[in-house]
A = this chain, B = another copy of it.
Amino acid sequence: MDDWLNKVNWPRDGLVAAIAQDADGGRVLTLAWMNRDALARTAETGEAHYWSRSRRKIWRKGEESGHVQKIKSIRLDCDNDAVLLEVEQTGGIACHTGRHSCFFQQLKNGEWVAMDPVLKDPRQIYRK
């Protein structure tokens, strides 16, 4: 029964935008992309899966870093073409820069200013 997947208004390129929001505190963490398979796996496994447009493959968020996003809820917008995930962010770090949120640059007097602290050195996150 994939009726719920058919309800999604998949665009021509097969990708919908997927927002992840921290269940703890409500910060918006990431904006990524999902194809049908990524959304299906996300619902099945309870962990966020996205489509990487650069690598052209599905990735499980945190598969390298350990910073998995555990799903609390999955929502769909009124146009059926954008997804909102409420997540428990493992490690409290969603960004590859080692910050809590990817949205750490804020516009201030005509400049983007990095606002949020680096919680963990990326070299520590991604070392093999």
Q: Are B110 and A4 in contact (CB under 8 A)?
A: yes
Docked complex: A23-75 residues within 8 A CB-CB of B? 26, 28, 30-31, 43, 73-75
Chain A interface size, as a band, is 35 or more
Q: Are B112 and A7 in contact (CB under 8 A)?
A: yes
Q: Are A106 and B73 in contact (CB under 8 A)?
A: yes
CB of A89 within 8 A of chain B? no
Residues of chain B with a CB closer than 8 A to A125's CB: none
Residues of chain B with a CB closer than 8 A to A105's CB: 75-78, 80
A-B contacts besides A26-B26, A78-B97, 17 pairs, CB < 8 Å: A3-B111, A4-B110, A17-B17, A19-B28, A31-B77, A75-B103, A75-B105, A75-B107, A76-B105, A76-B107, A76-B112, A77-B102, A77-B105, A78-B96, A78-B102, A78-B104, A80-B105
Residues of A within 8 A of B (CB): 1, 3-4, 7, 17, 19, 21, 26, 28, 30-31, 43, 73-80, 82, 84, 95-97, 99, 102-107, 110-112, 115
Bound-state CA distance A104–B78 (Å) is: 7
Pick the contact of A82: B31, B95, B115 (CB < 8 A): B31
